[in-house]
Amino acid sequence: MFDRLTNFESLFDEFRRIEQELDEAFGRWTPPSGIRSVARGTFPPINVGGTPDEVHVYLFAAGLDPKTLDLSIQQNLLTVSGERQIPVKDNATYYRRERFGGEFRRVVALPEDIDPDRVDAKYRDGVLQVTVRRRESAKPRQIQVS
């Protein structure tokens, strides 16, 4: 390995290559470094919340073409897949590339009372918002006592 290193530039190139190989080998299993971090390879980050009437799923996915997204619901699983293109300059030297590019797929388990026929999806300012309404039959109803 070191016999082909003739100058400092190639030495640093070799260190970058080793670092990249270690990141690829062990990066997926390292825990996030802070409470606001997500595990490596988790894209897009997701928030899920709900009200008595609907469930909201927010996917933070800047730089996507919304026409390339594929959303589906089957057996209360919301699946979102797509691809993010990251332009790479061939003549540039990258010292670190942390922005994910390529294909992705996320699956989110939704509550049992959602109505898969009543779904809205909007993409704005890098955030995909999916709203799934709950079934009317699952909502509590007031009963009049006479």
Distance between CA 134 and CA 143 in Å, rounded?
20
> Is the residue at 50 inside a domain?
yes
Structural element, H or E, at residue 22: helix 8-26
Instruction: Answer for the pair 57, 76: CB distance below 8 angstroms, yes or no.
Output: no
Please check whether residues 43 and 15 belong to one and the same domain: no
pLDDT digits (tens, 9 = 90+) for 10-39: 777 787 788 777 776 666 455 555 555 556
**46-50: strand order across its sheet:** 46-50, 54-60, 127-134, 114-124
Domain identity same for 47 and 119? yes
Query: Given this model, what pLDDT does residue 37 score?
Result: 54
CATH number, domain with residue 109: 2.60.40.790
Q: Which stretch of DSSP H or E encloses residue 135? A: none
Residue-wise pLDDT tens digits, 96-134: 877 767 888 999 999 999 999 999 999 999 999 999 999
**pTM tops 0.85:** no
Neighbours of 116 (CB within 10 A): 16
On whether both 134 and 74 belong to a single domain, the answer is: yes
